Amino acid sequence: MSPSSSSVNTNTSTSPPPLHSLLAGGLSGMIAKSFVAPLDRLKILFQVTNMPFSFLACKRVATKLVSDDGLSALWKGNGVMMLRVFPYAGIQFCVFDTLKSIFADPASNSTLRNMSHTSQSLMAGSTAGLVSTVAT
């Protein structure tokens, strides 16, 4: 096997292609939101009633909800939430990765390249949040 035909990746880019970022961000957002869905469900139940919140009341409401409607009641409405979470998280992750790779590119604007890593992350994250909120 000659060196030119080896399967070594010579791509020096550190960010994944935009479609991969979009899918990875969307799927990770869906997984994370599904893990916290029971807490969101309980939060909403407290918001729509006049019952004061306490951890003891929260435990009582969760127990009653599960005993009356089954364990799946804690994830009620989660499917519809995924319709919003996937594009939001995917766009946010993709835009953040794209901006970070632009900042790291030596050919990019020297002002952006000379910003601290924290400033670059703050700018990329806030812009990604703005774009994903507007898009969804």
Q: Tens digits of per-residue pLDDT, 9-36?
A: 444 456 678 899 999 999 999 999 999 9
Task: Answer whether residue 98 is part of any domain.
Answer: yes
Give the range of the structural domain holding residue 119, as residue numbers without chain letter. Answer: 17-135
3-state secondary structure 34-83: HHHHHHHHHHHHHHCCCCCCCHHHHHHHHHHHHHHHCHHHHHCCHHHHHH
Higher pLDDT, 87 or 106: 87
Task: Answer whether residue 10 is part of any domain.
Answer: no
Task: Answer whether residue 38 is part of any domain.
Answer: yes
CA dist list (Å): 1 to 7, 9, 11 = 10, 15, 20
Task: Answer whether residue 8 is part of any domain.
Answer: no
Task: Answer whether residue 2 is part of any domain.
Answer: no
Report the number of distinct structural domains present in the chain.
1
Chain segment 58-85, per-residue pLDDT in tens: 999 999 999 999 999 999 999 999 999 9
